[in-house]
Structure 1
Amino acid sequence: MRLLVFGSTGQVARELRQLAPEARFLGRAEADLEDPAACAAAITAFRPEMVINAAAFTAVDLAEDDPARTHRMNAEAPAAMARAAVALGAGFVHISSDYVFDGAGVAPHQPGDPVAPLNVYGASKAAGEAGVRAAGGAHIILRTSWVFSARPPNFVTTMLRLSQDRPDLLVVEDQIGGPTPARALAEALLQIARALRADPGTSGTYHFAGAPDVSWADFAREILRQAGRVTQVHGIGSDDYPVAARRPLNSRLDCTRTEAVFGIKRPDWRAALGTVLRELEEAT
């Protein structure tokens, strides 16, 4: 399968590079998300059979200060990519986010639930989804949450850094979601891309996140426990940790459709965390 991947240095793109070294990877120098036409042109020039978009503007709080740029990178660029893929008869797999939801209630969000983003980043991802769908053709939108790996920055590496010289950490405990190992997400993307190539009828929106669902505070506690750190984690409410962008309280994602269609189960993030911590230790 002639595969083109947007993204080169991000957590998921780096894992994809290890798993599919034969693919063509495009970083910002080759295809800047701020130039949607250039992204489309890159697809036309390479003539892939499948495209995976693993690139995005993910600085959630910074997005609040520049909604136009965020929309261009997370909405206009994926839509342009999808249209270019359709013109070639190529499949298109696009990573989206739990932040397209408002986080109401406690039930896991279904792929078909209405979107209602709380912040600029979430709105840009929802608009990107709409653009991909409007392009038509064979496509998969894969929503995920709380991605982590041994490649900083992410929540795991941040907790480890902060715990080096702090006896106590305050971490939000009223936001619940599924931490997702970047390696497992990359594996799922490749499996889904192959399935989409074989059967365009699998097109649609799916969810993929780690299990079990957990709060940020309990995620932090498990990180520090496995790392052998003595730092204590104290849970606080979202209102006690002010940030520029509102976050959804409920980021649970129902992933049953992904398992039913592609045979991909939710990965246990606790086991993956152990692997990530070993990778980090070996790198020091």
Structure 2
Amino acid sequence: MNASLRILIIGENGQVSRALQSRLAGMGELIVRGSGQLDLARPDSLRSPIVALKPDLIVNAAAHTAVDLAETEPERAFTINATAPGILAQAASELGIPLIHYSTDYVFDGLKPAPYTEDDTPNPVSVYGRSKLAGEDAIRHIVGQHLILRTSWVYSVEGRNFLLTMQRLLQEKPQLRVVADQIGAPTWAGTIADSTAQLIERWQTGQHGAWGTYHLAARGETSWFGFAQAIAESLVEQHKPCAVLEPIPSSAYPTPAQRPLNSRLDCTRLYREWGVSQPDWRSALQQCLAGQV
């Protein structure tokens, strides 16, 4: 791989950024910038230092991802998720380089009975979803060389996510109630990083498909309850204490932000255009847990 390739990763400690730092380490020079150096909450401060760094590629792995909190601080969510990506796109356009940006299944309302394709019309039902969609739109209008990668239900062994929360609660409580009517594909941050590395390789070797918006999530589907069951099974295999799981409807677990009932993403286009496919969610979970210390 091109050792002189300068890859700027925006975001330092998030689960996707950590996975990217590990996976992309041998692909070139990684320039990792957290909020202390490039703060998406201060979009006006972003362009000049990015242009000065002269990267060959920008990967934005930072976002306001606290879905419920976004309902009470919409201005901050839109600043980080919409305004800032627009500035990143301006910098990429000025430098004549590509921008890779991660988006979400939350841009859809979840009412479609089948998996969502990139051609489906977004209709977000939360502030978080609306802010992420606005970020997508900003990028599309500013820089041609972009990949907007919509993913879903991201987890890893770092940060704050469903996997780590369930591992803790399942060992602390005798019984646990988990929503069973929201359907999607849990997607390991390692899978996202692996796919991103493949996309960069295709771009570098001139084998890439069209720039644009793509879905990138694990294959298969389950509910949050099904995901919790799989996590519980791994605890039982390790002879650790494990709660009894009870499935409940979303109506029994109200949250400030509405969640899509259907978060399934059809990832056919990414494979057809770029030759990149994802593993089944269960096998990715096993791979993730196998590396957990």
Report TM bin, short chain. over 0.9
Partner in structure 1 of residue 272 of structure 2: 260
Partner in structure 1 of residue 62 of structure 2: 55
Aligned pairs for 1:30-49 (under 5 A) are 30-49=37-56
Gaps in structure 1 of 5+ consecutive residues: none
1-side partners of 2:138 and 2:201: how far apart?
Answer: 22
The residue identity in structure 1 corresponding to 2:48 is: A
Q: What RMSD over aligned residues (CA atoms) do the two structures have, in Å?
A: 1.4
Deviates more, 1:268-277 or 1:147-156: 268-277
> What is the total number of aligned residue pairs between the two structures?
281
Sequence identity percentage: 44
Instruction: Return the offset for 1:212.
Output: 1.3
Say whether the 8 Å CA contact 2:105–2:263 is kept in structure 1.
yes
Q: TM-score, normalised by structure 1?
A: 0.95
1:156 has 2:163 as partner: yes
2-side partners of 1:167 and 1:123: how far apart?
Answer: 37
Say whether the 8 Å CA contact 2:41–2:84 is kept in structure 1.
yes
Deviations 1:146-195, CA, capped at 9 Å, x for gaps: 01111131111100100112121111111000110101101111222343
Partner in structure 2 of residue 218 of structure 1: 226
Say whether the 8 Å CA contact 1:207–1:255 is kept in structure 2.
yes
Deviates more, 1:232-241 or 1:68-77: 232-241
Partner in structure 2 of residue 20 of structure 1: 24
Partner in structure 1 of residue 213 of structure 2: 205
Instruction: Return the offset for 1:43.
Output: 1.8
The residue identity in structure 2 corresponding to 1:184 is: T
Instruction: Return the offset for 1:45.
Output: 1.1
The residue identity in structure 2 corresponding to 1:227 is: L
Gaps in structure 2 of 5+ consecutive residues: none
The residue identity in structure 2 corresponding to 1:80 is: I
Partner in structure 1 of residue 98 of structure 2: 91
Say whether the 8 Å CA contact 2:235–2:242 is kept in structure 1.
no
1-side partners of 2:175 and 2:110: how far apart?
Answer: 28
1-side partners of 2:235 and 2:275: how far apart?
Answer: 32
Given the superposition, is the C-alpha separation of residues 200 and 48 from structure 1 closer, same or farther in structure 2, using an over 3 Å criterion?
A: farther
Q: TM-score, normalised by structure 2?
A: 0.92
Instruction: Return the offset for 1:264.
Output: 1.5
Deviates more, 1:176-185 or 1:38-47: 38-47
1:77 has 2:89 as partner: no
Instruction: Return the offset for 1:96.
Output: 0.3
Given the superposition, is the C-alpha separation of residues 257 and 76 from structure 1 closer, same or farther in structure 2, using an over 3 Å criterion?
A: same
Say whether the 8 Å CA contact 1:99–1:251 is kept in structure 2.
yes
Say whether the 8 Å CA contact 1:227–1:277 is kept in structure 2.
no
